[in-house]
Amino acid sequence: MSGVWIYSENAAIAAQLVAPARELAGSGHSVCAVVLDQQAAEGLLTYDLHTIYKLAGDASWPESYATGIAGLADKEKPDIVLIGGTLRGKDLAAKVAAKLGAGLVSDAFAVRRSGDGIETDRLMYGGLAVCTEVTLPTALVTIPPHCFEAPATAPALAPKIMEVQVQTDGSIQVGAVCPIERQGADISCADKIVSIGRGIARQADVELARQLAEALGAELGCTRGIAEDYHWLPVERYIGLSGQKVKPSLYLSLGISGQVQHVAGIRDSKIIVAVDKNEDAPIFAAADYGIVGDLYEVAPLLAQAITNAKAK
Amino acid sequence: MLNIIVCYKWVLDEQEIRVNAGSMTLDTGRAAYKISDYDRNAVEEAVLLAERYGASVCGLTYGGDPVKQSLKDALSRGLDSVYWVHDPSAATADAFVTANILAAAIRKIGKYDLILCGEGASDTYAQQVAPRLAALVDIPGLTFVSKLAVEDNKAVATRKLGDCTEVCTVPFPAVVSVLPEINQPRIPSLKQVLGAAKKPMIEWRASDLELSSAEITPKVRVASLKGYAMSRKNMIFKEEAAASVTKLVASLAKEGVL
């Protein structure tokens, strides 16, 4: 049966795929979900899906279900498969697409019907451009987490759960799974961020940014260079296309030139402020407010002025 | 001795692409090409593994005429040889086509224990080729690897997945895509640059790879490519520091973000 499928190994993200899947299905098609366990199936029972395919296999590693999902899709022939764009999801999606010989659009932030297929929008060139693409069925799409909101539950018609026995890929041995210990808060959820780039000359000077962050009540972030080349802040703190994507109410950059990949990570910020001595730095085009000046002079003054303003 | 194939893409430097105001079309006229940033980490990792365990490392790339310039660049970074699938189909290739071409080239090369890729291309950043290659060549594939070692003819890889890390062990042959944090690519020395010209460069056409026309017909077609407009207030203060700071703080207070 043709229709729209959703899959994510993360239950909350799977629910976020329901809204775009319904939109794509319209009145003529059904929405089905693929899940890997009973708990995930139950998490989706409250949405008006047609069928929930529960894959039964002997592996706990989600990526090892690529062959199973591809086999099921080959038999049931969905037109469109939406996959939650976590890193595990992207890995699995590409393996499923290869096995099906299908097209896959990565990280689409918009997806709509177009003729017999779909049209999608995604970023190119590190966030400089938007690429609109057309894919014919079977079309796979990964969608970034939190791109859509999970719809209100609609328990009118409970979907049926169908258990499917599948082969899993056992060639990869997975051991030692460790949660990543974060120092301080997760900056992807921070309300305010002070972020540093190569305009900071020495590691000791990170303190300037830290004091400004403290005055603002902000978390400290940085560019890829600061985390990966200099190791002045942990890798989890670097913001950009391949790092963290942030959406604070206030993003304040110190000594960041504004390479496109970095700007791609901050574009959902409400207010962007840039401080840099180079008037032509691209960061100013991406900023709501900016100061052209020496950050070593500006940052302490700014920290003091913010403390004063807050005290009023 | 290990045989390593490292894949790279020759891309336009996105920092040099301009967006034409008004039409929002892209001006790539002044943009130079480069080895995709993330692929430099893959090349470096291949060379580091060769230094540590002994390996023969060959590069593999797919693209049109401009790719010719890339061969010496790639070789100067420590590769022993490079294969170029030189084909005009690359201009409209999607990940489906690219992976089909690279997989066919890998089969034709024949000798491989490890296939290394970057985490994604710096132009499309679709992150599909490594996992697709694993599925097509029918060998294990590990993505987002931040640490890689070889033990008893197996790859031991630490994957980094947002909220956790996991250590995976796979028998060779395997495909591994590496994260930028895995290493710091070195700048080629003058001796390496001069030596690059003497290393083998092998050029193939798509027709040398015995692929059907369906396998080199893209599934995803680009309908339009436009500059991304970010509408911001762009109020930039250029006065003496204290005056600029006063104005900025007043603006931020008005925005209600202090």
pLDDT in tens, A141-191: 999 988 888 988 776 677 889 999 998 888 888 987 888 766 667 888 899
Domain check: are A251 and A306 in the same one? yes
Nearest to A189 by CA among B163, B208, B187, B241: B163
Check CB contact under 8 Å for A87 and B164.
Answer: no
Are A68 and A201 in the same domain?
no
Residues A122, A231 within the same domain: no
Which value does ipTM take for this structure?
0.93
Q: Are residues A98 and A232 in the same domain?
A: no
In chain A the beta strands, taken as DSSP E runs, fall at 3-7, 30-35, 51-56, 80-84, 103-105, 110-114, 117-124, 129-135, 139-143, 160-165, 173-179, 192-196, 219-222, 250-254, 271-276, 289-292
Q: For residue range A1-44, what is the model confidence (pLDDT) as tens digits?
A: 479 999 999 999 999 999 999 999 988 889 999 999 999 998 89
| Interval A196-253: pLDDT, tens | 999 999 999 999 999 999 999 999 999 999 998 899 999 889 999 888 889 999 999 9
Which band of pLDDT confidence, cut at 50, 70 and 90, is reported for residue B159?
very high
**Nearest residue on chain B to A137, judged by CA atoms?**
B219
Q: What is the pLDDT of residues B51-93, one digit of tens each?
A: 999 999 999 999 999 999 999 999 999 999 999 999 999 999 9
Residue A281 domain-assigned (yes or no): yes
Average pLDDT over residues B25-41: 96
Q: Are residues A305 and A161 both part of a single domain?
A: no
Q: At A57, which helix (H) or strand (E)?
A: none
Per-residue pLDDT for A98 more than 70?
Answer: yes
Looking at the structure, do residues A148 and A230 belong to the same domain, yes or no? no
pTM (whole model) above 0.80: yes
The average pLDDT across B114-120 equals 97
CB contact under 8 A, B143 and A91: yes
In a domain, A285, yes or no: yes
User: Are residues A134 and A17 both part of a single domain?
Assistant: yes
| Residues B14-38, mean pLDDT to the nearest whole number | 93
> What's the confidence (pLDDT) of residue A158?
77
| Per-residue pLDDT at A182 | 64
Rounded to whole angstroms, how far apart are CA atoms A40 and A55? Answer: 11
45-104 of B, contacting A, C-beta below 8 A = 94-96, 99
What value does the mean pLDDT take over residues B242-256?
A: 94
- Claim to verify: residue A119 and residue A32 sit in the same structural domain: yes
CATH number reported for the structural domain that contains residue A260 in this entry:
3.40.50.1220
B29 pLDDT exceeds 70?
yes
CB contacts < 8 A (A, B): 256
**Do B237 and A125 lie within an 8 Å CB cutoff?**
no
Distance from CA of B225 to the nearest CA of A (A): 5
Q: Which of A108, A290, A219, A154 is nearest to B252 (CA)?
A: A290
Higher pLDDT among residues A80 and A58, named by residue:
A80
Q: Determine the average pLDDT of the residues in B35-53.
A: 97
Instruction: Give the residue from A131, A165, A199 where a domain finishes.
Output: A165
Mark whether A131 and A194 lie in a shared domain.
no
Q: Which domain holds residue A86?
A: 3-165
pLDDT at A41 (0 to 100): 92
Dist. CA A310–CA A31, nearest whole Å = 51
Q: Which residue of B has its CA nearest to A191?
A: B257
Residues A86 and A223 both lie in one domain: no
Mean pLDDT of A64-70: 95
Per-residue CA distances from B125 to A274, B8, B174 (Å) = 26, 13, 22
Same domain? For A18 and A129 the reply is yes
Chain A contact set for B26 (CB, 8 A):
125, 128-129
Q: Identify whether A170 is part of a domain.
A: no
pLDDT at residue A183 in the model = 62
* Domains present along chain B, CATH in parentheses: 2-216 (3.40.50.620)
> Which tens digit of pLDDT belongs to each residue from A266-303?
988 999 999 999 999 999 999 999 999 999 999 999 99
CATH code, domain carrying A148: 3.40.50.620
Do A177 and B165 count as a contact with CB atoms less than 8 A apart?
yes
Domain count, chain A: 2
Write A41-44 long-range contacts (CB < 8 A, 24+). Answer: A41/A161, A43/A11, A43/A14, A43/A15, A44/A11, A44/A14, A44/A15, A44/A18, A44/A159
| Domain annotation covers residue A181 | no
Q: What is the pLDDT of residue A1?
A: 47
Asked, for residue A224, whether it belongs to a domain, the answer is yes
Please answer whether residues B36 and B125 qualify as being in contact, where contact means their C-beta atoms are separated by less than 8 angstroms.
Answer: no
Residue A15 counted as domain residue: yes
Does the beta carbon of B109 lie under 8 angstroms from any beta carbon of chain A?
no
| Confidence at residue B239, expressed as pLDDT on a 0 to 100 scale | 93
Q: pLDDT at residue B209 above 50?
A: yes
Q: Which residues pair with B192 in a beta bridge?
A: none
Residue of B nearest to A180 (CA): B164
Whether A31 maps to a domain, the answer reads yes
Using a CB–CB cutoff of 8 Å, tell me whether A12 touches chain B.
no
On whether any CB of chain A is under 8 Å from the CB of B127, the answer is yes
Domain co-membership, A124 together with A241: no
pLDDT digits over A118-140, tens only?
Answer: 999 999 998 899 999 999 999 99
A102 lies in some domain: yes
